[in-house]
Amino acid sequence: MTANVGQYSPEEEKLFEEIANGRTFEKGEDLPPLYRKHLMNLLWMQGDSEYSGALGYMPWIEKAPDVKEKVLVAQITKDEMRHSQVIYKMLRDLGENPEEHIEKTDMGWKLPEDDINIGFQRLKDDYRVNIFYYQIKYWEDFILFNFLMDRAAGHQLEDTLHSSYLPWKKGIEGIYKEEVFHVTHGDTNMKKLCKDPERRKFVQERLNLWWPRVMNVFGKTIGGANDIYVRLGLKKRTNKEVRDVFVEEIKGLCAEMGLTVPDWSEEENLAIKTH
């Protein structure tokens, strides 16, 4: 960590210490510039991910296999749109203008290619996590999204339940519960699909495609990528710690369902330049 010495001012070092000792921030409070900058990064990333996630789910209200599933997909879509509303409200309270941002960006945009992995690249000027660039092409993709992505989000949101920014900490409690419901929907349907050997084969094919995409969601770990979020009390664990917990859980579940978790390499994904 010697490379980081002198990176932060004495006031910022003092801020880290106060936060480590339990300092929190309320709505309307003046935020130290470093804190505000990193908080906004995370809020924009979550707000736009929830919003574009909801848009990506919408067609599946109609395309889900039966009426019971159409209702569940409608419920999940509503949840995601509500999550974006909660986060955008926080951004508005911080002086940002989410409505204008939605107007100016194209959050319904999806990559035209299906069989593609773009690594860590960003292709648009909204702030969504880049997994939301990919198309949900099959029902199996929708289910894998609940199984993988909602679970990944759930693990990340667990940290937010302890956030030093109190409006976020409060807002996340309801969001977290709904994400748990989405994960359960994924798990139940994954088990159902994998009982049939033919469908399991297809689920494995789609899992191979979605796996690097979801692993990249946790962000870079090389170079202590999110230490600053931990020091500001905006996260509790580093990217690598959260990803490791997620991978262990998925490996156990996939083994029960007769699926194989593919290999993934951060270096390889960092090197991908498709666009």
- Positions touching Fe ion (CB under 5 A) are 50, 80, 83, 150, 179, 182
CB neighbour class for 120 (10 Å; exposed up to 12, middle 13-18, buried from 19): middle
Nearest partner of 221 among 200, 206, 243, 199, judged by Cα: 243
CB of 5 to Fe ion, least distance (A): 38
CB of 80 to Fe ion, least distance (A): 5
Distance CA 63, CA 69 (A): 9
Q: How far, CA to CA in Å, does 21 sit from each of 18, 25, 231?
A: 5, 13, 11
- In whole angstroms, the minimum distance from the beta carbon of 25 to Fe ion comes to 23
CA distances from 125 to 87, 102, 109 (A): 18, 11, 11
Q: Give 216 or 269: the residue with its C-beta nearer to Fe ion.
A: 216
CB nearer to Fe ion: pick between 153 and 193:
153
Q: What minimum distance in Å lies between the beta carbon of 175 and Fe ion? A: 6
Distance, CA of 58 to CA of 102 (rounded, Å): 17
183 vs 215, which CB is nearer to Fe ion?
Answer: 183
Closer residue to Fe ion in complex, CB, 33/108: 108
